[in-house]
Amino acid sequence: MLTLCINKFKNVLMILLIGMLLMGNGNTMIDNIREANNHLSDSIRNTVVQSVLNEEDIQTFAARKAQVVIRCGEYQNKPGKRVYLNDIGLNFKDIPTDIKIHYDNEGAYIQEYDLNKKISMRIYEEMQERGIKVVYQDTKDRTQDLNRAGRIANEQNANIYLSVHTNYYNASSKGFFIMTNEGNQTARNIADRLSISMENNGMIPKRNALLNSGRIGEMNVINDSTIALLLEAGFYSNPNELKHLMSDEYVNYIAEHMANEMVEVLNDYWK
């Protein structure tokens, strides 16, 4: 009799879960599962079912669809995310053919999105070649702001989310670094390992990892079960670093070495 009651209550729970998932109330799948589980009365939970879904069951139900999500940071034609050739003394011959040159009333310019895309695509390709289950995410217009980008990535429930950017401050700023969220030592350890793997490139120096203090929207909304990382591959406001950020030599180096280390990281933390 007790077994029959347990099975009936499990069936009720499954119906409740499916209904909540189909309702699409704006929560993630994992949020919906937790909410449905919490709706069981304490008397049922304690005397019959005894936590039909614990946290481990929840994570299993919302199985990971990818090991890594690579996001190309920013979106096309974003105002302010650009550098004009005249301002930094670059000539057209300095620009590789795979980097698009844009024009407006102020002259010819390069936008951050195109730099980010070249770098993020190479990292994605290198991870694919190594058998990592990786998903590429491209944000092409402003409707996918930072928060939206993070929520899109959450659909994959990946082990690691890596958003790829290039930085801007002034002509003397230099160095690449990886940013993590505060209070996550595992993320910090992984960021340090990936940074170290790229540091001997001979072109752009390594800076210490930084902590997101809550101002980077995409990192704030990433699933708690996902390690959120943001790569700033160098300063495109620095003419010398911009040349490297556009070059196959630098991009291939960091992509290959990051992919190699990512294999080790995934094996160490999730095998």
Q: What is the pLDDT of residues 216-231, one digit of tens each?
A: 778 888 998 999 999 9
Contact 218, 147 (CB under 8 A): yes
Share of the chain above pLDDT 90, in %: 56
| pTM of the predicted protein model | 0.76
Domain 68-270 is found in CATH 3.40.630.40: yes
- If pLDDT is split at 50, 70 and 90, which confidence band does 189 have? very high
pLDDT at 245: 97
Contact 269, 190 (CB under 8 A): yes
Q: If 0-12 CB within 10 Å is exposed, 13-18 middle and 19+ buried, where does residue 131 land?
A: exposed
Using CA atoms, how far apart are residues 70 and 137, in angstroms rounded to an integer?
A: 6
Q: Half-sphere exposure (CA, 13 Å, Cβ side) for 85?
A: 16
51 pLDDT more than 70: no
Identity of residue 271: K
- If pLDDT is split at 50, 70 and 90, which confidence band does 58 have? low
Instruction: Tell me the pLDDT tens digit for each residue of 11-50.
Output: 544 544 445 444 445 555 555 545 554 544 443 333 333 3
Delimit the domains of the chain by residue range: 2-61, 68-270
Distances (CA, A) of 184 to 65, 109, 187: 22, 38, 5
CB neighbour list of residue 194: distance below 8 Å, 6 or more residues apart = 178, 229, 231, 258, 261, 262, 265
CB neighbour list of residue 224: distance below 8 Å, 6 or more residues apart = none
pLDDT at 219: 85
